[in-house]
């Protein structure tokens, strides 16, 4: 049972199992599998949260006219998916002149699933941070009416910026995050490390196991808001990504395990 029980200081070879709180990659070419082979470790994947879309009937209660906005802000693929899902359910055809502001290039490119990318005006932050996309938005703030699709637990920094800069905007709750039942997963293996990818994942850990004590368990976090949630929960953060030298969590884990082996 994973309670972060007493352990010796872990060396790389002693980190024998890592729980990745995301679905298992669909392709065998994932760098996570290369990592498992290189360090001879057990890597398990299990999502700590799931996303549930808000039905169009519930969205209508927010009294938001999507077509009245000239720009949409996307902070994740989930926000993209559920924005266009709601548009489809409500038979809304978004104007070709609509602008899209995305937190990362990856989210921006994901828009190709729904729009003719080259015919739209798509912007994204250079470094994948909230600050980066806000710097881009700042150049357009006086001329656009922003719609910010979000979840019920969305971090409020973008909304606070919009308010502070007196932008014309509305926040639309389109989906919610729900903790999954991971009690059996956590009880089955005494994982040496758990890796989180959202504040909701950290919340799910304690909802599933309120008595969790970290002790020797190593913790990894992807993204600044996830890192902050780990530390706010009173946990020691051992691996942080993205960083300039480790743009992905797999790269950060490889660096960390290599460092431990050298000690």
- Among 10-14, 16-20, 226-230, the minimum mean pLDDT is found in 10-14
Q: How confident is the model at residue 183 (pLDDT cuts 50, 70, 90)?
A: very high
The percentage of residues in the chain with a pLDDT greater than 90, rounded to a whole number, is 70
Spatial separation of the C-alpha atoms in residues 256 and 250, rounded to whole Å: 10
Residue 118 binned pLDDT confidence (cut-offs 50, 70, 90): low
Mean pLDDT of 16-25: 95
Domains in the chain (CATH in brackets) are 17-48+181-262 (3.40.50.10090), 52-177 (3.40.50.10090)
More confidently predicted of 9 and 177: 177
Higher pLDDT among residues 143 and 118, named by residue: 143
CB 214 within 8 A of CB 192: no
Q: What does the pLDDT look like over 214-248, one tens digit per residue?
A: 989 999 999 888 899 999 999 999 999 988 888 89
Strand runs labelled E in 93-167: 99-102, 121-124, 145-151
pLDDT at 193 over 80: yes
Average pLDDT (67-81) is 94
Q: Distance of CA 224 to CAs 15, 23, 58, 150, 237, Å?
A: 24, 21, 31, 18, 12
């Amino acid at each position: 049972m994973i309670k972060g029980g007493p352990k010796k200081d872990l060396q790389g070879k002693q980190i024998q199992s890592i729980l990745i709180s995301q679905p298992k990659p669909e392709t065998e070419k994932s760098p996570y599998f290369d990592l498992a082979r290189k360090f001879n470790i057990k890597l398990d994947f299990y999502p700590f949260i799931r996303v549930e879309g808000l039905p169009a009937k519930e969205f209508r209660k927010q009294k938001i006219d999507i077509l009245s906005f000239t720009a949409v802000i996307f902070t994740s693929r989930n926000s993209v998916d559920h924005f266009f899902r709601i548009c489809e359910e409500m038979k809304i055809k978004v104007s070709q002149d609509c602008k899209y502001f995305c937190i990362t290039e990856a989210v921006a490119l994901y828009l190709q699933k729904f729009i003719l990318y080259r015919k739209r005006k798509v912007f994204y932050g250079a470094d994948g941070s909230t600050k980066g996309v806000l710097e881009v938005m700042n150049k357009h703030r006086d001329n656009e009416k922003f719609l910010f699709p979000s979840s019920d637990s969305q971090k409020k920094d973008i909304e606070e910026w919009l308010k502070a800069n007196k932008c014309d905007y509305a926040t639309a709750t389109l989906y919610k995050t729900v903790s999954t039942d991971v009690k059996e997963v956590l009880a089955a293996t005494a994982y040496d490390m758990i890796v989180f990818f959202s504040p909701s994942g950290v919340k799910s850990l304690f909802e599933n196991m309120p008595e969790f004590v970290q002790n020797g368990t190593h913790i990894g976090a992807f993204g600044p808001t996830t890192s902050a949630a780990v530390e706010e929960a009173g946990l020691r953060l051992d691996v942080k990504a993205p960083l300039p030298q480790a743009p992905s969590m797999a790269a950060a884990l490889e660096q960390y395990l290599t460092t431990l082996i050298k000690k």
